[in-house]
Chains A and B, each alone.
Chain A
């Protein structure tokens, strides 16, 4: 049982490039989430999904897009990367009203 798997673990992007952070879970969880963690800060919610085909914005959605075509996968797309998007990104999943399980994170640097 892999849990929540995020790829890649590390990535360096140039300003203006685009990329997709992958997240997949094998626990058949309905809910999935993307958070970002800036140095010395707590995690902030970017987007979340309560089921396949349903997504909604969190606290800091600007500059990001998501899709949820299957229960297992919840990719996060960065368009036109900016230095302000340098962060550690965490994907999480859960059943309704159950604790969230987190992936190991993707460390992204934009130079």
Chain B
């Protein structure tokens, strides 16, 4: 069975600080996908990024960057120069490449960015 752990329940930062959200996963499969989703206070789920298990290249998109390390089974998410609009719950998730691509979610990290 798959498992995703987000040990940080809640993080509070001041605007313009950098913040890293941790994600550790467990799976015995060698092919899988990792995801980050954002859930703002309005409640919808917004897809941010997907990585496959064969691609360990780090990725940067604007103020967002992702660090995927298979050696430590981690897929961490960094927000640079955080803004109040980044306040949300962030979920890390994993799916296998077969069996319906079902998502296994972590419990989420609540990020609060204050002025």
Contact = CB atoms under 8 A, between A and B. Distances in A.
A42 B104 CA distance: 9
Contacts of A100: 47, 101, 103
Q: Give the contact-size bracket for chain B.
A: 20 to 34
B107 A41 contact: yes
A2 B37 CA distance: 20
B100 to A, nearest CB: 5
B107 A97 contact: no
Contacts, number: 54
Secondary structure of the B contact surface, majority rule? loop
Interface stretch (A17-25, A43-51, A60-68, A74-82): A43-51
Interface in B19-33: 33
Interface residues of A, number: 25
A31 B100 CA distance: 7
B100 A50 contact: yes
A94 B43 contact: no
B105 A104 contact: no
Interface string B84-112: 00000001010001001111111110000
B91 to A, nearest CB: 6
Contacts of A88: 43
A99 B107 contact: no
B35 interface: yes
B55 interface: no
Interface string A73-111: 000000000000000101010101101111011000000
Contacts of A56: 100
Interface of B: 4, 6, 9, 33, 35, 37, 43-45, 47, 50, 91, 93, 97, 100-108
Given A40-B108, A42-B93, A90-B45, 4 more contacts: A33-B103, A43-B105, A56-B100, A99-B35
Interface of A: 31, 33, 35, 40-45, 48, 50, 56, 58, 88, 90, 92, 94, 96-97, 99-102, 104-105
